[in-house]
Chain A
Amino acid sequence: MAVTNREIYELLLEISRDLVRVEHSIDELLANVRALNLEFRQTQPISRRCERAILEQARNIMKSAVLVFPGINRERDMARALRMISGHEPAMVWHAETSLPKGTDLVVVPGGFSYGDYLRCGAIAARAPVMDAVRDHAAQGGLVLGVCNGFQILCESGLLPGILMRNDRLKFICKDVHLRVERSDSPFTRGYNAGQVIRVPVAHGEGNYAADEETLKRLNGDGRVLYRYCSADGEIGDTSNINGAAHSIAGIVNENGNVLGMMPHPENHVEDIMGCTDGRGLFAGLVAHLDRAA
Chain B
Amino acid sequence: MKARVTVTLKTGVLDPQGKAIEGALKSLGVDGVASVRQGKVFDIELDGADKAKAEAALKAAADKLLANTVIENYRVELLG
Contacts and interface: CB of A to CB of B under 8 A. Distances in A.
Interface residues of A, number: 20
B40 to A, nearest CB: 8
A163 B65 CA distance: 14
A208 B16 contact: yes
B20 interface: yes
19 contacts: A119-B65, A119-B66, A123-B65, A123-B68, A127-B64, A156-B68, A161-B70, A162-B70, A163-B68, A163-B70, A163-B71, A165-B71, A167-B16, A168-B16, A170-B16, A210-B13, A210-B71, A211-B70, A244-B14
Contact of A168 (B13, B14, B71): B14
B17 interface: yes
B58 to A, nearest CB: 16
Contacts of B14: 165, 168, 208, 210, 244
Interface in A125-172: 127, 156, 161-163, 165-170
Q: Is the interface of A mostly helix, strand, loop or mixed?
A: loop
Given A120-B68, A127-B64, A165-B16, 8 more contacts: A123-B65, A124-B65, A165-B13, A165-B71, A167-B16, A170-B16, A170-B17, A208-B16
Nearest to B40: A119
Contacts of A212: 70
Nearest to B20: A170
Contacts of B20: 170
Interface in B22-76: 64-66, 68, 70-71
B64 A166 contact: no
A244 B16 CA distance: 10
Contacts of A169: 16
Contacts of B66: 119
A89 B73 CA distance: 43
Nearest to A158: B70
Contacts of A244: 14, 16
Contacts of B13: 165, 210
Contacts of B16: 165-170, 208, 244
**Closest A-B pairs by Cβ, 3 of them:** A166-B16, A163-B70, A170-B16
